[in-house]
Amino acid sequence: MSVATIILHKHKAEAVRRFHPWIFSGAIKKIDGAVNDGDVVSVEDERGSLLGVGHYAKGSIAVRLFSFQKIESVEQCFTEKIEQAIVLRKAIGMWSNKRTNAFRLIHGEGDGLPGLIIDVYNTTAVLQAHSTGMFKERKLIAGLLVKLSGGRITTVYDKSSAALHAHTKDEILIGENVSTEIVENGNRFQVDVIGGQKTGFFLDQRENRKLLGKFSKDRNVLNTFCYTGGFSVYALKAGAAEVHSVDASAKAMAITDANIALNELQNHQSFALDVFEFMKEAKNDFYNTIVLDPPAFAKHHSARHQAIQAYKRLNAVAFQKVSKGGMVFTFSCSQAVNSALFEGAVTAGAIEAKRNIKVIHRVTQPADHPVNIFHPEGEYLKGLLLWVE
C-alpha cells in the first residue's frame, strides 16, 4: 500500500511496541507525504522500522492503529478482524442464541478496529463510526458484514452522524428493513435504531439486568434514568412487587410502557420527570431496590470533577431513600472516571447519607464488549451492587 508515513520521536515508540493502538499528536516527529483526516497511514520509528498501520485524525489522538504489522490491503485486514470477532461471539454463545438475538459484534479497540462500533439487532447490524477513517470505510465494512455473517446479517444501517458531530446522513447501506424488536434473555424489547440513543439499545447492561432479576422478587424497585425500561422488565419478570421507572425523556418513557406491555407485565408506573427532582420527593423507605444508571456525567477529562460530584450527590440521595436491608445498583459509563474515582464518589455519598454500605458485587461490561489487555481504557462500564443497612 502506498500511504503517508508517520515517524515517531525516539522515546514515543515504546507504547506502540507494547501494542497500545493510540498515537498522540505530541509523539509525532514528522510526516512523510500528504495526509488528510481519515487517511490510512503507516507508522515508523526513527530508524524506519514499521510499527503499525492505522487511520490518521486531526486531534489529540492522531493515529488509531488497526494493525501492528504490514498489511496487503484494508479489505484483507478488516476481513480478518471481523472474522475473529465472529469467532469470539460464537464462542461466548451470542451468535446463534434463540433467547438473545442482540449483541455487540465490534467493540472498537477491543476487537482491533479502533473508532468502530457495530451492534447487531436480530438481522440488522448498526454501524457507528467514531473516526473519519472508519466512516470512509463504512461501505466496505457493510459488505464484509453481510458476506462474512453467512446470512445472519441482512441489513446494515449507518448511524455515525451523532458520534462524528459532522454533517453526515444516517442511512441504510445494505438491505431494506431495520429490525425494530429484539429478544434478550427471553425478554422482548422494542428498539428504536433510527431515533434512539447510541445504536438504539444499551446492550452493555445485559448481564447486569439479569443480575437485578435475581434480587427483585417481592421488592419495590425504582429504576432511574431508565431509558426504555430494560431493568424494569427484568425486575417485573422476576416477581418484583412494584416497579417505578423514571426518565426525563417522555419519548423514552413511551417506549418503556410499550416494553412493559410487550412482555405482558403489570405493577408498573412510569414518570417522565427529572431523576433528581423525583428522588427528592420520593417517600423514604418505600423502595427496597434502587437502580442508578445515569448517562455519562463526564465525556472528557475536563468534566471529571463535576462528574464525581454528581455521582456523589446521586448516590447519597439513593442511600437516604432506600429501605433498611435495601439494595442499590449503581453504575458509571464515564470512561474519564475510573473505578477508583467512581467508588470514591459512592463512598462519599455513603458518608453524607450516614448509612452503612456493603459491596456485594462489582460488575462491568459483558463479554461481547471485550477489553484489549493492551488498551485498558476500553473498560468503561463500572458498577456496584450495594447492600444498605
Judge residue 76's burial from the number of C-beta atoms within 10 Å of its C-beta, 0-12 exposed, 13-18 middle, 19 or more buried. Answer: exposed
Which of 230, 234, 228, 176 has the alpha carbon at shortest distance from 197? Answer: 228
Instruction: Catalogue the E-assigned strands of the chain.
Output: 4-8, 22-24, 28-32, 40-44, 50-56, 61-67, 102-107, 116-121, 124-129, 155-158, 171-174, 181-184, 187-190, 220-224, 242-246, 268-271, 289-292, 326-332, 357-363, 382-388
Q: Angle at the Cα of 291 (from 290 to 293), degrees rounded to 5? A: 150
How far apart, in whole angstroms, are the C-alpha atoms of residue 228 and residue 293?
Answer: 12
Amino acid at 253: M
- Residue matched to cell numbers 450495594: 386
| Residue 112 phi, psi dihedral angles, 5° rounding | 75, 15
Strand partners, 125: 120, 156
Q: Are 238 and 213 in contact (CB under 8 A)?
A: yes
Catalytic (active site) residue 77: no
Q: What burial class does residue 118 get, using C-beta atoms within 10 Å of its C-beta: 0-12 exposed, 13-18 middle, 19+ buried?
A: buried
Of the candidates 203, 27, 207, 208, the residue with the CA atom closest to the CA atom of residue 126: 203
DSSP symbol at 59: S
CA 328 to chain centre: 21
Gap between the Cα atoms of 280 and 378, Å rounded: 34
Alpha-carbon distance of 16 to 103, in angstroms, equals 30
Catalytic residue chosen out of the listed positions 316, 333, 353, 384: 333
Q: Measured between alpha carbons, how far is 23 from 58 in angstroms, rounded to an integer? A: 12
Q: Which residues are marked as active site?
A: 333
